[in-house]
């Protein structure tokens, strides 16, 4: 009987450890990124359909991985790099890295994406020089994202990315 007590204690501790680990937020998540955005008060269409994987640290750092850089068209064109990083909080992605928005033929990095009040129906994109408001309804569905091919110097040479800007 004395030998069964340590075994019971070890079994109880093991079960407690497993339960604790299962309730702890995972660093690599297999659930849908678009569902995660919705659970944090953001529209699911902020990120394209073509997400390969993502991680979310306990500190809130979200890293989203795509197979290749791509462009999605919503109201403006959005350019997603292979990795998009941001601090995820309820109603916001701050310190965004890896996402640019086209404005008047210029590609400007998106710094923050904020939904202050979902009842307003607006989402705010901070692009450094300006803050742009869009209708939340534009981001209801994840957009298709297509590789960006640029023709350089009319040579019909396809080039990925932004290409040379003068």
Residue 28 falls within a domain, yes or no?
A: no
In a domain? residue 130: yes
Residue 87 lies in a domain: yes
Mean pLDDT (whole number) for 100-113: 93
- Note the pTM of the prediction, 2 decimals: 0.71
User: Is the pLDDT score of 152 beyond 70?
Assistant: no
The angle formed by the CA atoms of residues 159, 161 and 162, to the nearest 5 degrees, is 100
Query: What residue numbers bound the domain in which 106 lies?
Result: 34-155
Query: What is the domain-level CATH number for residue 50?
Result: 2.30.240
Residue 26 located in a structural domain? no
Could you tell me which of 42, 35, 34, 48 has the C-alpha nearest to residue 123?
Answer: 42
Any domain includes 160: no
Which is higher by pLDDT, 1 or 77?
77
Number of domains observed in the structure of the chain: 1
Q: Is residue 29 part of a domain?
A: no
* Angstrom distance (rounded) from CA 148 to CA 95: 24
Assign 159 a pLDDT band (cuts: 50, 70, 90): very low
Among 23-27, 45-49, 115-119, whose mean pLDDT is lowest?
23-27
CB under 8 Å to 124, separation ≥6 — which residues?
A: 112, 113, 114, 115, 116, 131, 132, 133
Residue 139 falls within a domain, yes or no? Answer: yes
Q: In Å, what is the CA distance from 110 to each residue of 28, 80, 153, 165? A: 25, 10, 28, 19
């Amino acid at each position: 009987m004395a030998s069964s007590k340590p075994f019971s204690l070890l079994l109880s501790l093991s079960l407690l450890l497993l339960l604790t680990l299962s309730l702890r937020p995972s660093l690599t998540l297999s659930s849908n990124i678009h569902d995660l955005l919705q659970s944090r008060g953001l529209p699911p269409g902020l990120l394209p359909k073509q997400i390969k994987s993502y991680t979310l640290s306990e500190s809130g750092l979200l890293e989203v991985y795509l197979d290749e850089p791509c462009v999605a068209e919503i109201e403006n064109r959005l350019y997603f790099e292979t990795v998009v990083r941001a601090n995820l909080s309820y109603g916001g992605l701050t310190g965004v890295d890896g996402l640019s928005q086209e404005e008047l033929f210029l590609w400007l990095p998106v710094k923050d994406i904020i939904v202050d009040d979902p009842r307003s129906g607006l989402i705010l994109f901070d692009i450094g020089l300006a803050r742009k408001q869009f209708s939340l309804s534009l981001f209801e569905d994840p957009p298709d994202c297509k590789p960006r091919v640029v023709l350089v110097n009319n040579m019909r040479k396809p080039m990925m990315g932004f290409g040379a800007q003068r």
